[in-house]
Chain A
């Protein structure tokens, strides 16, 4: 067999074998990591998981702002956020774990302040932002509200 290409000839065969071995070992490691019990610290998800599970519930974020005059406005999230994943209407906030974590109040407050800043750019000064998830059951049409919190945003610089 000839090894003729200037980039990878002769002595570089050994290095190529090392790279191939690392590549294969990474894949074996990924399988082992995914197959160890979920309770172990070594456990990890399967790589390249796509649509691996899906339930009947679908959730949408609702944000309501209260301006200095006390009037409430539903915030136009589709105008505040521009980039959606792929061809979906899933915006950045749908990937924020903090919005589903009751302990992450600092991150939630920071998100509310971000919305207030954007609303100010759209011409509406807010003092309070109320966030909640609204889940809909695709089978029954039943809806459930899951409040995230109410955040004061009036004191921002």
Chain B
């Protein structure tokens, strides 16, 4: 990997520019971009498949439909007939398969975003959380060099990593913003009340572990602080070489615990955990790309500068 590094005697601005360029424009193999293309397409496919039996309810009943705020603002809330919705969804699924396979991916990408604008924007309610994150990743994803893996000579292509960096920044910002929302914007996280009632309630809690072992307010307080610390650590720790493996373990552990104790869709956990391979080093990706070097792939996790 060729990377710009600040030289001695450079001004602050020059050094900042060099760091900026190194962070965003260092060339890397395009493996992670190809992975993310496939992952995002398959995840979106799995997001829409469970919706298929409910399209009438989700898209064609004005009585239970909350228009997207932008649609309300601009006075357009097109409500398509059911056959048109079916057409749109089938078109989307076909586009997702083509995109995952890399068939005319750039053109298909635009079609997917347009279809998602309707199918996520005019859902029964404004899509939140992981659906929203996936949509933004579809927008950011256009900046990824996912067009092809190898050049005409069969060697893996390399490209500036700025698109990938945006996808990674968006992913880690979710954890940082989530902490800010809980602590600055929300309430009941420092004394454990919010987690206590969330785990005891029937909307999201009383599920597997939280149903088998009801927790006290004291335990909820400890878990609440642990959650805040974990989210901070994931959001920041993934960016540093030394802390990256621990941040990955923390992220996996937190989502596994959430999946075992809260009624949050498994799609949410899959989406978040599916971002983690983006933080693998280029060397690890190269090893993964070369099947003969698979056993050594993850040993490169800590060796490459962030």
Residue-by-residue, is B21-60 near A (CB-CB < 8 Å gives 1, otherwise 0)? 1101111001000000000000000000001011001100
| Consensus secondary structure, chain B interface | helix
**Given contacts A3-B25, A23-B166, A53 and B187 within 8 Å (CB-CB):** yes
By the criterion CB–CB under 8 Å, are A111 and B197 in contact? no
Q: Which of B44-96 contact A (CB under 8 A)?
A: 51, 53-54, 57-58, 61-64, 66
**Given contacts A53-B186, A54-B193, A20 and B207 within 8 Å (CB-CB):** no
Q: Which of B197-214 contact A (CB under 8 A)?
A: 197-198, 200-204, 207
By the criterion CB–CB under 8 Å, are A3 and B63 in contact? no
The interface size of chain A toward B, counting residues with CB under 8 Å, comes to 52
Residue A41 is within 8 A (CB to CB) of chain B in the complex:
no
Residue B288 is within 8 A (CB to CB) of chain A in the complex:
no
Among A6, A8, A48, A85, max chain B CB count under 10 A is at A48
Chain A residues with CB under 8 A of B63: 107, 110-111, 113-114
A138 to B177, CA, bound (A): 29
Chain B residues with CB under 8 A of A113: 63
By the criterion CB–CB under 8 Å, are B124 and A50 in contact? no
A53 to B190, CA, bound (A): 11
Chain B residues with CB under 8 A of A120: none
Residue A16 is within 8 A (CB to CB) of chain B in the complex:
yes
Residue-by-residue, is B133-149 near A (CB-CB < 8 Å gives 1, otherwise 0)? 10000001001010100
Chain A residues with CB under 8 A of B124: 83, 92, 95
Interface residue from A1, A53, A82 paired with B2 (Cβ < 8 Å): A1
Q: Closest A-chain residue to B207, C-beta based?
A: A87
Residue B295 is within 8 A (CB to CB) of chain A in the complex:
no
Chain B interface size band reads 35 or more
Nearest CB on B from A26, distance (A): 10
Residue A13 is within 8 A (CB to CB) of chain B in the complex:
yes
Q: Which of A83-131 contact B (CB under 8 A)?
A: 83, 85-90, 92-93, 95-97, 107, 110-111, 113-114
Among B26, B181, B195, max chain A CB count under 10 A is at B181
By the criterion CB–CB under 8 Å, are A54 and B201 in contact? yes
Among B124, B160, B166, max chain A CB count under 10 A is at B160
Interface residue from A51, A83, A86, A90 paired with B198 (Cβ < 8 Å): A51
Chain A residues with CB under 8 A of B64: 92-93, 96, 111, 114
Nearest CB on B from A110, distance (A): 4
By the criterion CB–CB under 8 Å, are B169 and A46 in contact? no
A56 to B205, CA, bound (A): 13
Nearest CB on B from A84, distance (A): 9
Chain A residues with CB under 8 A of B66: 95-97
| Consensus secondary structure, chain A interface | loop
A27 to B166, CA, bound (A): 12
Interface residue from B4, B22, B57, B266 paired with A82 (Cβ < 8 Å): B57
By the criterion CB–CB under 8 Å, are B30 and A5 in contact? yes
Can you list the 9 inter-chain pairs with the closest CB atoms, starting with the nearest?
Answer: A52-B186, A5-B159, A86-B265, A49-B181, A46-B181, A114-B63, A83-B54, A48-B177, A95-B125
- 30 A-B pairs with C-beta separation under 8 A: A1-B3, A1-B21, A1-B22, A4-B158, A8-B159, A16-B143, A16-B162, A19-B166, A20-B165, A34-B184, A35-B184, A48-B177, A48-B178, A49-B178, A49-B185, A51-B186, A53-B186, A53-B194, A54-B188, A86-B268, A87-B207, A87-B263, A87-B264, A87-B266, A88-B204, A88-B263, A92-B58, A92-B124, A96-B64, A114-B61
Residues on B close to A: CB < 8 A? 2-4, 21-22, 24-27, 30, 51, 53-54, 57-58, 61-64, 66, 124-125, 129, 133, 140, 143, 145, 147, 157-160, 162-163, 165-166, 169-170, 173-174, 177-178, 180-182, 184-189, 193-195, 197-198, 200-204, 207, 263-268
Residues on A close to B: CB < 8 A? 1-8, 13, 16-17, 19-20, 23, 27, 30-31, 34-35, 45-56, 58, 81-83, 85-90, 92-93, 95-97, 107, 110-111, 113-114, 138
